[in-house]
Every structure is written in structure tokens, then in C-alpha cells.
Structure 1
């Protein structure tokens, strides 16, 4: 059950070879790419010439390990996994960091939703008294539920 694909006589298996390549799809794609580049090229150029100074900034180091302070509803405070007295959180953190100036250290506070406001403020005051002013509050993402 063979079908004859081209003209001419011949036997049952005689098929002429068609070696012409159809370049129309190739030309279409090239024209589309040419139009895209013609539109995008003027957007990538800057028309205001500015002589920029050389950057001599040292390479950035990895950010320091974050410190998490957790406050449970029963007024127990933790630094990482270690329990600390709630009024000693700031001084304990200073000991962990090495008594350096902690002004650039960010502290993450995780507080239970049943934590009393007074306990939370006691931790905040302890952190501020020790020089920690960059504090982030951690909450649960609503989309995760």
C-alpha cells in the first residue's frame, strides 16, 4: 500500500527525491527577531553621557548569622534554643556576639500570640539598653494556612 508522491512512471518503489528546503518559516522567524531587536535596541542605550568614578568597595562578606529571640506566652524567653531570663536577653546577646557594638546587628523577635504586652516590652527594653536598635518582628504568613 504505497502512494505515489511524484510524477513520472516507473515501478512500484520509484519515488523522485525532493531536495528543496522550505525556507519560509525560517525567514518569518528572522523577520520577527529583527523587529524585536530594532524595538529593543534604542531602549537599551543611554542618551546622557556621564563619566563614572571607579568603584573601590571591598567585596561583601556573607551576612552574619541571624539571632532569633522567642517569647512564649508564659513569659519564657529564648535566644535560639537556649532559655534566658526575660530581663537578661540584651546582655546575653551581647555575650553571644562578643561585646562588640551591636548597632548593625538585626534581631528577630518571635512572640507567641498569647504573650503579654508587658513581657514583650521588657524584652524590647532589654535589647535597647544593650544597644540593639535594629529589631524585626516575625509573624506567620497567612497564605501558608
Structure 2
């Protein structure tokens, strides 16, 4: 009689319980990535919104510019004015180009009346931006404090 050492063919799984597994389970990874994707999709639009704040008051003098910026005004009826001269939307860019000493680096201020149609103001901003002007500011007035 002898002792035989055989293989475990036909008996059980063929490996010991609790041994190392050489396969990667990607299901938990996919679950975590989907949760992160949803969190970032919800959080991203909230990050672009402005936060309402009260700016501090100061006694510092206002900033002085070496050159006066060009002011474009949009009236409630949609009339566009550049430095008090009435222009059309098509004639806006040639007038701005003739006044701009620094070219596309010129500082522009857009004054839109509160009752003016939003679309009219956006047409002016869009045409100025499409022409290459990047230093465009919107003029507002501070609300009176009670």
C-alpha cells in the first residue's frame, strides 16, 4: 500500500479558499466613477454662478485711467449711441474703430437702460466681442441703501 498524491480534478474548485485572486473587480470602480460624475455634473453649474456680496466701503480715490474709455449706450427703444452720437448696429464697429486708439485692446463701457430689451444689449456686446474687443465692461449704478 502506498500513499498517492493526486490532483484535485473533479473535487471542488481546484484552489484553496482565502488565496489571492488574480482578477480585478471593476464593478466598485465603475460605481464610484458614476457617483463622482453625477456629483460633478450637479456641482459644476453652481460654481459658475456669482455669489451676492456686500463690497466694503473705502475712502480711497477712484481709479484714474490715462485714457477715457469709449462708452456705448443702448436706449430703452433700442437706439445705440457712441459718445452721444447715434449709430446703427451695422455702423457701430466702424465708429468704435475710428475712436479706438489702442485697437482691440481699447477699454469699452456699455451702458444699457434697465428697461431696454436684453436682446438689444446682447447684440451690441456680441458684435463688439466678435470684432475682437475683450476689455468690455457694463456700467451700473449702485442701489440706494435704506
Matched length? 82
CA–CA distance in structure 2, aligned partners of residues 84 and 128 of structure 1 = 18
Deviation at 1:144, TM superposition (A): 7.7
1:9-47 deviation line (CA, Å, top 9, x unaligned): xxxxxxxxxxxxxxxxxxxxxxxxxxxxxxxxxxxxxxx
Q: Contact between 2:80 and 2:86, CA under 8 Å: does it hold in 1?
A: yes
In the TM superposition, structure 1's runs of 4+ consecutive aligned residues that sit over 3 Å from their partners are none
What stretches of structure 2 of length at least 5 have no aligned partner?
A: 1-64
Alignment of 1:102 with 2:97, yes or no, is no
Q: Contact between 1:67 and 1:80, CA under 8 Å: does it hold in 2?
A: yes
C-alpha distance 124-143 of structure 1, shift in aligned 2 (>3 A): same
Q: Which residue of 1 aligns with 2:60?
A: none
Q: Contact between 1:87 and 1:122, CA under 8 Å: does it hold in 2?
A: no
CA–CA distance in structure 2, aligned partners of residues 83 and 144 of structure 1 = 34
Q: Which residue of 2 aligns with 1:142?
A: 143
CA–CA distance in structure 1, aligned partners of residues 80 and 73 of structure 2 = 6
User: What does residue range 13-28 of structure 1 map to in structure 2 within 5 Å?
Assistant: none
Alignment of 1:68 with 2:60, yes or no, is no
C-alpha distance 87-120 of structure 1, shift in aligned 2 (>3 A): farther
Alignment of 1:79 with 2:82, yes or no, is yes
Indicate the SS of the match to 2:144.
helix
CA–CA distance in structure 2, aligned partners of residues 133 and 95 of structure 1 = 17
Q: Contact between 2:76 and 2:117, CA under 8 Å: does it hold in 1?
A: yes
Deviation at 1:88, TM superposition (A): 2.9
**Cα RMSD between the aligned structures?**
2.0
Alignment of 1:126 with 2:109, yes or no, is no
Q: Contact between 1:71 and 1:78, CA under 8 Å: does it hold in 2?
A: yes
Q: Contact between 1:106 and 1:135, CA under 8 Å: does it hold in 2?
A: yes
Deviation at 1:124, TM superposition (A): 0.8
